[in-house]
Chains A and B, each alone.
Chain A
Amino acid sequence: MIRIWLRDFILILLFGFFALFLQSAILPMMFKDKLEINLIFALIIWLGFFKSTVPGAILSFILAYFLGAVSGTLSGVYMFAGMSLYLICFFSRASFSPRNLSGQMLFSFLLFGFSKLILLLALELFIGRNYFRVQPIYYILLEITLNAIIAPFIFKIFHKIKGFFDLIPELLEPRRG
Chain B
Amino acid sequence: MPNFGFLYRRIILPVGLWVFSLVLLSVQSYQHRKSSPSPFSRAIMGILSYPQKGANFIKEKAQRGWNNYLYLVEVQEQNLGLQKQIALLELENQLLREKAMETERLQSLLGFKNSINFETVTAKIVAWDLSSYAQTFIINLGEEDGIKERQPVISPQGLVGQIIDEPGRPISKHSAYVLLILDRGSRVSVMVQRTRDRAILEGIGKKEHLLIKYLSPEVKLESGDMVITSGLGGIFPAGIEVGKLLSIEGNPFLSSAQGWVQPSVDFFHLEEVLVIIGDKKQ
Give A contacts to B, CB under 8 Å.
20-21, 24-26, 28-29, 53-54, 57-58, 60-61, 64, 66, 69-70, 72, 74-77, 79-80, 82-84, 86-87, 90, 122, 125-127
Q: Which of B1-47 contact A (CB under 8 A)?
A: 9-10, 13-15, 17-18, 20-22, 24-29, 32
Give B contacts to A, CB under 8 Å.
9-10, 13-15, 17-18, 20-22, 24-29, 32, 48, 51-52, 55-56, 58-59, 62-63, 66
- Cβ of A115 to closest chain B Cβ, rounded Å: 13
Residue numbers in B under 8 Å from A74 (CB-CB): 25, 28-29, 32
- Cβ of B225 to closest chain A Cβ, rounded Å: 86
Asked if residues B48 and A53 are in contact (CB atoms below 8 Å), the reply is no
- Pick the contact of B32 from A26, A70, A72, A126 — CB < 8 Å? A126
Asked if residues B58 and A126 are in contact (CB atoms below 8 Å), the reply is no
| A69, B50: Cα distance in complex, Å | 9
- Cβ of B47 to closest chain A Cβ, rounded Å: 10
| A101, B13: Cα distance in complex, Å | 30
| A93, B218: Cα distance in complex, Å | 126
- Cβ of A41 to closest chain B Cβ, rounded Å: 14
Residue numbers in B under 8 Å from A53 (CB-CB): 9-10, 13-14
- Pick the contact of A25 from B9, B27, B62 — CB < 8 Å? B62
Asked if residues B29 and A90 are in contact (CB atoms below 8 Å), the reply is no
Instruction: Report the nearest B residue to A22, measured CB to CB.
Output: B62
- Pick the contact of B55 from A25, A29, A61, A125 — CB < 8 Å? A25
Asked if residues A66 and B25 are in contact (CB atoms below 8 Å), the reply is no
Residue numbers in B under 8 Å from A66 (CB-CB): 51
Instruction: Report the nearest A residue to B27, measured CB to CB.
Output: A76
A28, A53, A61, A83 pick with most chain B CB within 10 angstroms: A83
| A75, B27: Cα distance in complex, Å | 11
Residue numbers in A under 8 Å from B13 (CB-CB): 53-54, 57-58
Asked if residues B58 and A80 are in contact (CB atoms below 8 Å), the reply is no
Asked if residues B14 and A75 are in contact (CB atoms below 8 Å), the reply is no
Asked if residues B62 and A26 are in contact (CB atoms below 8 Å), the reply is yes
B14, B20, B22, B63 pick with most chain A CB within 10 angstroms: B14
Asked if residues A76 and B25 are in contact (CB atoms below 8 Å), the reply is yes
Asked if residues B14 and A86 are in contact (CB atoms below 8 Å), the reply is yes
| A21, B62: Cα distance in complex, Å | 10
| A84, B20: Cα distance in complex, Å | 11
Instruction: Report the nearest A residue to B44, measured CB to CB.
Output: A75
| A69, B58: Cα distance in complex, Å | 14
Asked if residues B14 and A87 are in contact (CB atoms below 8 Å), the reply is yes
Instruction: Report the nearest B residue to A75, measured CB to CB.
Output: B48
| A24, B13: Cα distance in complex, Å | 28
Asked if residues B21 and A80 are in contact (CB atoms below 8 Å), the reply is yes
| A29, B58: Cα distance in complex, Å | 13
Knowing A53-B10, A74-B32, A84-B18 touch, does A69 contact B55 (C-beta < 8 A)? yes
Q: A54-B13, A70-B59, A87-B15 are in contact. List 10 more A-B contacts (CB 8 A).
A: A21-B58, A25-B62, A29-B63, A53-B9, A76-B25, A76-B27, A76-B28, A80-B25, A90-B14, A126-B25
Asked if residues B24 and A79 are in contact (CB atoms below 8 Å), the reply is yes
| A24, B26: Cα distance in complex, Å | 25
Asked if residues A29 and B66 are in contact (CB atoms below 8 Å), the reply is yes
Q: Could you list some 18 contacts between A and B, CB below 8 A?
A: A21-B55, A26-B66, A28-B59, A29-B66, A54-B9, A57-B13, A60-B17, A69-B48, A69-B51, A70-B55, A70-B56, A74-B25, A79-B21, A80-B18, A80-B25, A82-B21, A83-B17, A126-B28
Asked if residues A122 and B62 are in contact (CB atoms below 8 Å), the reply is no
| A60, B13: Cα distance in complex, Å | 12
Of all A-B residue pairs in the complex, the 7 with the closest CB atoms, nearest first, are A76-B25, A126-B29, A70-B55, A25-B59, A25-B62, A69-B51, A83-B18
A25, A70, A84, A126 pick with most chain B CB within 10 angstroms: A25
| A60, B58: Cα distance in complex, Å | 22
| A83, B9: Cα distance in complex, Å | 15
Asked if residues A24 and B59 are in contact (CB atoms below 8 Å), the reply is yes
